[in-house]
Copies of this chain bind each other. A is one copy, B any other.
């Protein structure tokens, strides 16, 4: 079986770090990720640069990544204006966050959940008006699908109802997102089972954070009910200002090791992923990064799902720059 690991570090990760990584450093990192075998990379966010100056160069980063062979270049856009800017830059795929939490929706993108759903329809209409061959895919992540730091628990019926309405608006895929690390594996199984039952082939991937250490456990639960696309960030960077002390996204390195060890093909090379990590650390000196595999590498006797062997320790970070944390 093939699994798509969608790397969100250059967007979800870098937007959560106060320091702005220079455009050239972002592109060096993105190229290294592509060289490691990542086939989908979320490279930036088309939002108000006053609010997120780390993402002000999103158009340049999208354009700089377009020549990477076989890589889907994805960008986040909260609304039509952002989507049009992402499309103008050439993004292959646009991901739009729609909050299941009413209060988070207002706090995050300044509109109600209902308005956000209608905005998706506007973006789809604009996309459909483009010439064939220049139409980006429109992917939705239903954020706070597993609970919200402001609102608390979010009714599962509301999440599934939203997914149906988003599919009706013409979105190509609708995934479930836990940006705050509230999700537990039982809830993950329930919600993705219902998502598949209700919207079938439009059911999208899972976006998990590791705030309570449960990220990979949630992946196992999601795999069990048919999810095959997982967001992750190299070094686990990312996070939510409402979860102090929490780490961010699930760690790409650990996810890839686990999937490959299980016999699930990601197409990603762990030695080259370690090289990309070294480039990330160079670009973010002193910032905290996470992950277990980079500390120890693969075990003795490890094989990729393809059957290729890798020597013990593969994936261990050897080129850690002296300036990094």
Contacts and interface: CB of A to CB of B under 8 A. Distances in A.
Contacts of A69: none
A156 B244 CA distance: 43
A262 B219 contact: no
Count of identical protomers in the assembly: 2
Interface in A250-286: 251, 254, 257-258, 261-263
A154 to B, nearest CB: 9
B258 A185 contact: yes
B301 A153 contact: yes
B213 A251 contact: yes
B153 A213 contact: no
A224 interface: yes
Interface in A134-182: 147-149, 151-153, 180-182
Contacts of A258: 184-185, 212-214, 217
B217 A296 contact: no
Contacts of A245: 295-296
A306 interface: no
A296 B251 CA distance: 19
Query: How large, as a class, is the contact surface on chain A?
Result: 35 or more
A247 to B, nearest CB: 7
A241 to B, nearest CB: 13
Contact of A292 (B213, B220, B263, B295): B213
Given A243-B296, A291-B213, A152 B220 contact: no
Contacts of A149: 299-300
Given A211-B292, A245-B295, A246-B292, A219 B217 contact: yes
A152 B185 CA distance: 31
Contact of A299 (B182, B186, B299): B182
A293 interface: yes
A243 B300 CA distance: 11
B211 A214 contact: no
B185 A262 contact: yes
26 contacts: A147-B299, A147-B300, A149-B299, A149-B300, A151-B300, A152-B299, A153-B300, A153-B301, A181-B296, A181-B299, A182-B299, A185-B220, A185-B262, A212-B292, A212-B293, A212-B296, A212-B299, A213-B216, A213-B251, A213-B254, A213-B292, A214-B216, A217-B258, A245-B295, A245-B296, A246-B296
Given A185-B220, A243-B296, 16 more contacts: A149-B299, A151-B300, A152-B299, A181-B296, A181-B299, A185-B262, A186-B261, A186-B262, A186-B263, A211-B292, A212-B258, A212-B292, A213-B292, A217-B219, A220-B220, A245-B296
